[in-house]
Amino acid sequence: MPVVDVHPDELRELTGHQEKGDEALKSDLFALGLEFEGETEDGAFQLEFAPDRLDRLSVEGVARSLRYQYGDDRGVYVPSTNDATWTIEVDESVPDERPYVTGAVIRDVDLDDDALNSLIQLQEKLHATMGRKRAKGAIGIHDLTMLKGAQVERDDDAVDAGETAADVGDDVRVSETSKSISYVGVEPDEDTFVPLDSDDELTPAEVLEAHSTGREYADLVSSYDRYPAIYDDLGLFSFPPVINGRRTEVSTDSRNLFVEMTGTDQWTIDKMLNVVCYALEARGATVEDVNVAYPEKAVYAENELAASGGTLVRPDLSLDGKRVAHDRIERVLGVALDASDVVDLAERAGLDAAPIDTATGQHPGATDDAGSDLPDDPRGSIQGSAATTASADADVDVGATPSVEGDLAYDVEVPPYRVDVLHPMDVVDDLGRAYGFNDLEPKAPDVSTNGGRHERSRLERAVRSQLVGLGFEDLLNFHMIASEENYDRMRLDAAATASDADAVGAEPPVTITEPYSEDYEQLRSWALPSLAMVLENNTHRQYPQDLAEIGLVAHRDPAESTGVREERHVAAVLARADASYEDAKARLQALARNFGVDLATPPTQHPSFIDGRTATVRIDGADAGVVGELHPKVLVEHDLEVPAVGFEFDLGALE
């Protein structure tokens, strides 16, 4: 889970609640779902939170959430932006592997040491989470005064947020003089620049070889025929997603910034940009639009958010929308609420909600002429399931629950910095947090049966008890894992089908289509990699380390109705100076004896284990797993300096 350093003094300053003590702040933060993990040497809170709330990756985002919780802020806030004076010209030479770019100009920001450190931390955390370690999205922040833009006259089709290239008519045009920078593709040795933390002029290829940051992110671009690069009138100043140039380095003296982001997906970098813009605007900065001019190219025509041969206006601060039924809110939360209560809770959660009659599509209590003087949003309309919104169509006077012909529901507006509201249930979760989960009264379920422990759960509990009795420390790891951890670092290759798997753990993975982080790309196909990661993270601890886990594993299997086969596996490792195959087998034999099953261990081969020191775990005549000494290359890969042995088998074999 991401951990963010947030100083309580900054929280008090940004929320305006100087009276809040440290313990009161910790309690308020816990109510938001932010868990206190400790303090840094300078007294900053180390807060752990779920990676879906990326808007809380900075002290500004956390302070915003607290202000909503305290009732100081209500409803959706969208900062105003100034018209664009800069354009990012995208050249046809940009590599197709990384074709998308977005940006914004930030003016009059006061960057003291705390603000600059917060900005750097936000950049790093966004890279690690939504940016997938810069693979999907990378952020470049530059001192605007050090850029010299080319003067250009643009007269292109404009594509606003919420519109596709097909939606744009001939009457939608941009014609203005602005400064421009260029996003291009260059040969690896075509040009030079001075990267951050260096005094030498280097080509992009030399950066990947000679610079520490270049070596760290070389695998992101090394396979490209042409490397991504950003130019102004003075030359190359950014080599995304690897490193910026020293010429535009940001310091506490910087007052105007240029924020650019490149990536493999327009939606991702647009949302990352929104998070950064909101954080800087909270510091008193003014946000200025940037035009993004795309060339006519197939890769842009295939993406509904990009415009082949057109111009985007960024940042995209249009609102998303969801519709959620009133009875669903009450059913999930278990409390009776008036419509006015729901609207109030939504506003306290940083959302806007308007009651709607699902039969008529009308907002009860709305005035017909309300909203007629509201200007059109230049970035487009709300995207999502909500057909209409109160802010755009009507002023709604919600005194209590209005009478409706059909079912009562709510059109909910979601602010631009929220990337986690994907489903109406996410809205219900926000309403529950605003109500206060601790204030919900527990109720016994209205059923006539008595609950009991499932047979599988009984078996699992018994096996876990036996493992603890054999000296193992019981663990509970995540079921999701990185593909590299599951296969590569264990010297395994993923099989194409389940029937092709020739080793435990080599079954085809159940992958996540759009993971937030590279650390959680798939469901693990076996449990030993999770234990190896725990050993790797505890090399500073005393040995011996005997670890065990009973947990979920899964792999693709077309024979299953869901296409996925799920199993509960028993896995254990012993790491110590004198660990041997016999140690693992002895504990396996004790476990089998206690459950009255026949155990056989015929020799086998497995890439993760040493040949000649590996055996199949055969229980009651059926192959159920593997036992052996971990291969030296696996030990080196996990920085282990002592031998390690282990076993893994299907829990169902003990039934």
The residues pairing with 325 across neighbouring beta strands, listed in sequence order, are 409
The count of C-alpha atoms lying within 13 angstroms of the C-alpha of 206, restricted to the half-sphere facing its C-beta, is 12
Question: What is the distance between the alpha carbons of residues 124 and 130, in angstroms, rounded to a whole number?
Answer: 10
**What is the arithmetic mean of pLDDT over 91-95?**
95
Q: What's the CATH code of the domain at 614? A: 3.30.930.10
User: For residues 376 and 442, which has the higher predicted lDDT (pLDDT)?
Assistant: 442
Enumerate residues 6+ apart whose C-beta is below 8 A from 189.
Answer: 203, 204, 205, 206
In a domain, 442, yes or no: no
The verdict on 333 and 309 lying in the same domain is no
Question: What is the distance between the alpha carbons of residues 182 and 291, in angstroms, rounded to a whole number?
Answer: 12
pLDDT at 532: 96
The verdict on 110 and 237 lying in the same domain is yes
In a domain, 374, yes or no: no
pLDDT at 310: 84
Burial 118-140 (b: 16+ CB within 10 A, else e): bbebbbebbbbbbbbbbbbbbbb
Kindly report the CA angle at 190 between 187 and 191, in degrees rounded to 5?
A: 130
The verdict on 23 and 99 lying in the same domain is no
In a domain, 603, yes or no: yes
pLDDT at 392: 38
Q: Are 228 and 207 in contact (CB under 8 A)?
A: no
In a domain, 643, yes or no: yes
Q: Tell me the pLDDT tens digit for each residue of 171-182.
A: 333 435 479 999
Q: Are 395 and 402 in contact (CB under 8 A)?
A: no
Ramachandran region, residue 33 (left: φ > 0; alpha: ψ -120 to 50; beta: rest): left
Take residue 67 and report the two structure tokens written for it.
């202000």
If you write DSSP's letter for every residue of 427-446 in order, what string do you get?
HHHHHHHHH-GGGSPP---S
The verdict on 158 and 262 lying in the same domain is yes
Q: Tell me the pLDDT tens digit for each residue of 129-171.
A: 899 999 999 999 999 999 998 876 554 444 444 444 334 333 3
User: For residues 359 and 330, which has the higher predicted lDDT (pLDDT)?
Assistant: 330
If you write DSSP's letter for every residue of 60-96 in order, what string do you get?
HHHHHHHHHHHTSS-S-----EEEEEEEEEEPTTS-T
**What is the arithmetic mean of pLDDT over 106-121?**
94
User: For residues 274 and 306, which has the higher predicted lDDT (pLDDT)?
Assistant: 274
Q: Nearest-CA neighbor of 535 among 527, 545, 525? A: 545
pLDDT tier for residue 274 given thresholds of 50, 70 and 90:
very high
Take residue 58 and report the two structure tokens written for it.
């900075």
Q: Nearest-CA neighbor of 556 among 495, 613, 515, 502? A: 495
pLDDT at 359: 81
This prediction's pTM: 0.70
Question: What is the distance between the alpha carbons of residues 82 and 94, in angstroms, rounded to a whole number?
Answer: 28
The stretches of 437-580 forming alpha helices (DSSP H) are 455-469, 483-486, 528-536
Q: Is 566 exposed, middle or buried (0-12, 13-18, 19+ CB in 10 A)?
A: middle
The yes-or-no verdict on residue 391 having pLDDT over 60 is no
**Which domain, by its residues, includes 548?**
455-654
Residue with tokens 């938001």, as numbered in its chain: 32
**What is the arithmetic mean of pLDDT over 441-445?**
80
Q: Tell me the pLDDT tens digit for each residue of 59-82.
A: 999 999 999 999 999 999 999 999
Question: What is the distance between the alpha carbons of residues 409 and 411, in angstroms, rounded to a whole number?
Answer: 7
Q: Tell me the pLDDT tens digit for each residue of 557-601.
A: 999 989 999 999 999 999 999 999 999 999 999 999 999 999 999
Q: Tell me the pLDDT tens digit for each residue of 606-626.
A: 999 999 999 999 999 999 999
pLDDT at 401: 59
The verdict on 490 and 506 lying in the same domain is yes
The residues pairing with 551 across neighbouring beta strands, listed in sequence order, are 569
pLDDT at 655: 86
Residue ranges of E strands in 305-369: 311-314, 320-325, 352-357
Output helix, strand, coil percentages for the chain, rounded to the nearest 5. 30, 30, 45
Q: Are 568 and 495 in contact (CB under 8 A)?
A: no
The verdict on 109 and 242 lying in the same domain is yes
pLDDT at 372: 32
pLDDT at 181: 96
- What is the Rg, in whole angstroms, of the alpha carbon atoms belonging to the chain? 28
The verdict on 262 and 351 lying in the same domain is no
In a domain, 448, yes or no: no
In a domain, 449, yes or no: no
In the chain, the number of structural domains is 4
Q: Tell me the pLDDT tens digit for each residue of 298-312.
A: 888 777 666 677 889
pLDDT at 152: 63
Q: What's the CATH code of the domain at 243? A: 3.50.40.10
In a domain, 76, yes or no: no
The verdict on 182 and 224 lying in the same domain is yes
The verdict on 60 and 85 lying in the same domain is no
The count of C-alpha atoms lying within 13 angstroms of the C-alpha of 342, restricted to the half-sphere facing its C-beta, is 30
User: Mean pLDDT in the chain?
Assistant: 87
| Dihedral sign computed on CA atoms, order 606, 612, 613, 619 | positive
pLDDT at 516: 74
The count of C-alpha atoms lying within 13 angstroms of the C-alpha of 545, restricted to the half-sphere facing its C-beta, is 20
Enumerate residues 6+ apart whose C-beta is below 8 A from 219.
Answer: none
Per DSSP, the three-state class of 140 is: strand
The verdict on 512 and 611 lying in the same domain is yes
Q: What's the CATH code of the domain at 66? A: 3.30.56.10
Q: Nearest-CA neighbor of 130 among 350, 349, 420? A: 420
Please tell me whether the peptide bond between 228 and the residue prior to it is cis, using omega within 30 degrees of 0: no
In a domain, 536, yes or no: yes
User: For residues 327 and 376, which has the higher predicted lDDT (pLDDT)?
Assistant: 327
Q: Tell me the pLDDT tens digit for each residue of 346-389.
A: 999 999 999 998 888 887 765 443 333 333 333 333 333 333 33
Question: What is the distance between the alpha carbons of residues 248 and 231, in angstroms, rounded to a whole number?
Answer: 12
The verdict on 485 and 425 lying in the same domain is no
Question: What is the distance between the alpha carbons of residues 397 and 364, in angstroms, rounded to a whole number?
Answer: 8
The verdict on 92 and 115 lying in the same domain is yes
Q: Nearest-CA neighbor of 494 among 517, 511, 478? A: 511
> What is the largest distance, in Å, between two alpha-carbon atoms of the chain?
83
From the centroid of its chain, how far is CA 167?
Answer: 31
Please tell me whether the peptide bond between 315 and the residue prior to it is cis, using omega within 30 degrees of 0: yes
